[in-house]
Amino acid sequence: MKYIVILLTLFISGLLIGIGNNMYKYGYGINDAFWRVAWAIDEGTIWAPNFNEENFSKIKIGMTETEVLLLMGKPLNALQESCVNSCFWFYTKQDSGTSDFDQRWVVFNQDKRVSEIRKSFFID
């Protein structure tokens, strides 16, 4: 019985430390932080070469494509010349079609201004 209590205590401590780490490192809320810990074995994020979490958090609604490009560098997907309704810039992507990953996407409207910022842990 003593060993079960010790193992359970270690497991819960590790879970809480992992959640706290994800909340601090990625700026996640408790929900995304928990699921990133729970699905860590299947986490497969490919990050843009010059990605920086601190700079990503500086992106604001209304910024221009040029401002985001200067702050973040090129996204993983090719820069799109024309946007009909919206353009997505992916600073992360899945390493396989079924892996869970840290989503860092910027959505631009037809005026080439940020209309949405996607920052979450995506469970596939």
- Do 22 and 60 reside in the same domain of the chain? no
- Do 29 and 46 reside in the same domain of the chain? no
CATH of the domain at 98: 3.30.1450
Higher pLDDT, 76 or 36: 76
CA distances from 68 to 5, 65, 79, 90 (A): 50, 5, 12, 12
Strand boundaries in 6-94, DSSP class E: 45-47, 86-90, 92-94
Query: Domain tally for the chain?
Result: 2
- Do 23 and 76 reside in the same domain of the chain? no
pLDDT in tens, 49-59: 989 999 999 99
Looking at residue 105, what is its pLDDT? 93
Angle between helical axes of 2-26 and 30-38 (0-180°, round to 10): 120
pLDDT for 121 beyond 80: yes
- Do 26 and 49 reside in the same domain of the chain? no
Record the tokens describing residue 32, joined without a space: 């995304």
Domain interval for residue 24:
1-38
pLDDT for 42 beyond 60: no
Radius of gyration for the alpha carbons in the chain, expressed in angstroms and rounded: 18
pLDDT for 41 beyond 70: no
Of the ranges 77-81, 86-90, 113-117, which is most confident?
113-117
Q: How many residues can be counted in the chain?
A: 124
Alpha helices for the chain (secondary structure H):
2-26, 30-38, 53-56, 65-72
Separation of alpha carbons 83 and 81, rounded Å: 7
